[in-house]
Amino acid sequence: MSRRDFLTASLTASAFSLVDSVEAQSPAPEYYDFRRYQLASGPGTKLTESFFASALIPALNRLAIGPVAAFSLYFGPDTPAYYLLLPSTKLETLVTADLALAKDPVFMKAAAPFWDAPGNTPPYLRIESTLLRAFEGYPKLTVPPAATKKEKRVYQLRQYVSPTNMDHVRKVEMFHHGEFGIFAKAGAANVFYADALIGPRLPSLTYMLCFPDVAALESTWEKFSADPDWKKLSADPQFKLDPPTVNNVTSIVLKPLACSQV
């Protein structure tokens, strides 16, 4: 048996053992509908934010979907853009939410300016959606203390795309072997960690961290990179095979909209 095959078999057995242990201690992982609204500069941005605040988020909460996170793109490509994160413990509720909203008269009345906008002047250019499932070891979204206090904050959203499914499994297990705690120790507020189930770039994982500002974001990453626990984890042979477990990283910085519950 080759070294890679041996490590792959060992890692697979370790992953199943870890999942069994975590499932026995943790609640069932949440599902997330992660939406991106590509906008154009102009009145559509204000109309879309008003739709979120007065119609969509209250109606989603009535379906027991929440807390709903709403962001504007701060640093990243293709501005302006808004992002929504919709968490739910019930997959069917999440994926049929738009069908349920269409039967909600309170929502339909509040949503009319957005939903009924003329086809030649829509408030957005397109909506993209990715279905995520929270990691077994981080099964629920965490609302950062700064969000509860309505303090100034920024969020970093990172997506890791792996070259193969096994590489993806290894990268997810790497998080379970210590990355959650190393991020917290460095000063980041963990928000969520999730696998992509349905979306345009698979296999991939997505996670979000919260910081007071961009300067804190940068200093936290410096602390993370210098942490002895991170250096030890990243040097572990089961995570350090060639080629690497991740071959593409997307990283953007978001700001919460006034209506955000996260």
- How does pLDDT run across 214-237, given as a tens digit for each residue? 999 999 999 999 999 999 999 998
Which residue spans of the chain are classified as CATH 3.30.70.100? 3-28+135-256, 31-132
The CATH code belonging to domain 31-132 is 3.30.70.100
Q: What is the pLDDT of residue 244?
A: 85
The CATH code belonging to domain 3-28+135-256 is 3.30.70.100
Q: What is the pLDDT of residue 241?
A: 67
SS3 content of the chain, % helix, strand, coil (to 5): 45, 25, 30
Are 158 and 251 spatial neighbours (Cβ–Cβ below 8 Å)? yes
Are 48 and 114 spatial neighbours (Cβ–Cβ below 8 Å)? yes
66: closest CA among 179, 166, 7, 147?
147
Q: What is the pTM of this model?
A: 0.88
Which residue positions in the chain have pLDDT lower than 50?
1-23
CA quadruple 253, 28, 160, 97: dihedral, nearest 10: -60
Question: What are the distances in angstroms from CA 161 to CA 67, 158, 243?
Answer: 27, 10, 13
